[in-house]
């Protein structure tokens, strides 16, 4: 009898650096266009297997359902990566932005990133509801916790 292999999950590997992402956000004049772009970013996230949508990977503090799995890019144990998913389109976009901020960084680099400043740069800080902002903080804390443990 053969065992089923453990499911695997594809880590987020951003197509754009955060600086390129900020440039793209700067091209939009109004929030609606930025909102649509954010949703498009979320649609490009790698597929997230149902097997990882468990309590152990759930991010607490988010109104939406969010799951985050830690890992390493290309097996490099000195760098951090993650896979994540949400049941909300806008949150998936925020996950993509967090991927451009954190994926491929060392734990030390992750500790030095100011996500609030990053979201101000994109102009998203003014347009996130308090509950979305709390969820974003929860995702960042989960990323930092996983990175420190790596």
Q: What angle do CA 143, 147, 150 make, to 5 degrees?
A: 145
Contact predicate 131/58, CB 8 Å: no
Q: CA–CA separation, 101 vs 36, rounded Å?
A: 20
Start-end of H helices in 10-106: 18-26, 31-43, 89-102
Using alpha carbons, select from 131, 99, 92 the residue that is nearest to residue 118: 99
Query: Which residue(s) pair with 58 in the sheet?
Result: 67
In degrees and rounded to multiples of 5, residue 143 shows phi and psi of -60, -45
Q: Which helix (H) or strand (E) holds 70?
A: strand 66-71
For the annotated catalytic residues, the residue numbers are: 62
């Amino acid at each position: 009898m053969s065992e089923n292999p453990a499911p695997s999950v594809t880590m987020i590997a951003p197509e754009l650096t955060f600086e390129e992402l900020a440039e793209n956000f700067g091209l939009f004049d109004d929030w609606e266009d930025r909102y649509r772009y954010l949703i498009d970013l979320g649609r490009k996230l790698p597929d997230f297997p149902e097997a990882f949508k468990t309590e152990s990977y759930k991010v607490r503090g988010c109104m939406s359902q969010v799951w985050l799995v830690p890992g390493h890019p290309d097996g490099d144990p000195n760098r951090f990566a993650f896979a994540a998913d949400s049941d909300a389109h806008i949150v998936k976009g925020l996950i993509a932005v967090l991927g451009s901020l954190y994926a491929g960084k060392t734990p030390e680099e992750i500790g030095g990133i100011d996500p609030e400043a990053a979201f101000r740069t994109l102009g998203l800080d003014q347009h996130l509801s308090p509950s979305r902002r709390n969820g974003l903080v929860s995702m960042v804390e989960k990323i930092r916790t996983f990175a420190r443990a790596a």
